[in-house]
Amino acid sequence: MKSTLRTKTQTKQPTVRMNAAAKIKLDQMQVTTDLSQPALLDRAVDLLERELLGEQMKAEFAAVADDPETLAAYNKLSAGFDGALRDGLKRK
């Protein structure tokens, strides 16, 4: 009889539930891109994470812009970085 116990080196693959329309799209993308479904899902998660981070940054900058005192402090701090990327070479 085979043992059904998992060893430390065996890992259970995660299960992802999705609606039928999303599964059809995933199947189509797999054929189109020649990427595995886990690779496509990994990329989708990464892209959503970037989108959420961008939205968070946008909201935080809007909050800074709405507070004159904080905006003045931010502008003072960022002014110190003006020219920081200059290479010291003069243009002809």
Q: What is the pTM of this model?
A: 0.65
Q: How far apart, in whole angstroms, are the C-alpha atoms of residue 60 and residue 3?
A: 54
13-22, 26-35, 56-65, 83-92 — which is least confidently predicted? 83-92
> Given a cut of 60, is residue 1 above it in pLDDT?
no
Domain residue limits, the chain: 20-79
43-72 confidence digits (pLDDT tens): 999 999 999 999 999 999 999 999 999 999
